[in-house]
Amino acid sequence: MKTVKITKMQGCGNDFVIMDYSEYEKTGMKMEVLAKKICDRHFGVGADGLIIPDCSHENSDADISWYFYNSDGSTAQMCGNGMRCFAKYVYDNKLVDKKAFSVKTLAGIIKPELLDNGLIRVNMGKPILEDKKIPFWGERKINVIDREFDITPVSMGNPHCVIITDDDPMKLAEKYGPKIETHEYFPEKTNTEFVKIKSRMEIDMRVYERGCGITLACGTGACASVVVCVLNNLTENKVKVNLLGGPVFIEWQGSKDNPNQDIFLIGSANYSFFAEYVL
């Protein structure tokens, strides 16, 4: 019987299986196939994604890199909650020897930092607002099923469609999220965030994630949502984002006149269990 060692972690309920590369090699499987198998909540471990650290010397432009796969076997350029879990995992397992380091991702170099209070602060880079780079091909209104929504496309290394609403964001995410994810406006599909403003310092957000469906949290989605709120003067530059799995804190000093500013995500990352997975 072949087994591999795995670690299960979660950030605000967004959960991941993390596996050392040496353990992955034992599986003899393609990563996308393994991701679908191990993330299955009925026949596998159950997770929103699979993360495999890469410590090879080829990553000279960063301290470490990762392989990240959604539960459907697709790759994602970035994942904020996954990055916090990854940062804690690689530091605790001595794959890096400093609390602030750089990670090579498909979205570029991301810089997490383990704080003394136990939280992880991640420099998520600069939001992308140019349609071609998101990528987004369409109008700022979208018609799905029986509704028309005003939308703002943003990329945080992965595409997002942000919708500000006074309605129940969870009900909207469940009903309209699947249709927006695959809408022709988004050639690489999209994450969709429904955002309700509570105050200038706090918002509620529910998300339908590309390749995952409804999830308890989305770090890049929280960042994209705050960018849209700030650009529309709906919130201040430091915002508490209430996700289904708990809160995260977003800081962005950007503005309409100066959007080219780094955005920071602050939140927790926690271990769920350590196990041996039977292949």
State the catalytic residues: 79, 218
- Tell me the two tokens of residue 37: 């198998």
129, 121, 84, 125: which is closest to 106 by C-alpha? 125
96, 89, 107: which is closest to 55 by C-alpha? 96
- Tell me the two tokens of residue 212: 């995952």
8, 69, 58: which is closest to 34 by C-alpha? 69
Is the torsion defined by CA of 232, 234, 240, 243 positive or negative?
A: negative
- Strands 238-243 and 202-209, by their bridges, are parallel
Q: Give the amino acid at 208.
A: Y
- Strands 238-243 and 246-252, by their bridges, are antiparallel
Q: What is the largest CA-CA distance in the chain?
A: 60
User: E strands, the chain, where?
Assistant: 3-11, 14-18, 49-54, 64-70, 103-105, 108-114, 120-123, 141-144, 147-150, 152-155, 159-164, 191-199, 202-209, 213-214, 238-243, 246-252, 263-267, 270-278
Concatenate the DSSP letters of all residues of 10-47 into one string. EETTEEEEE--HHHHHHH-S-HHHHHHHHH-TTTS---
N- to C-terminal Cα separation, the chain:
8
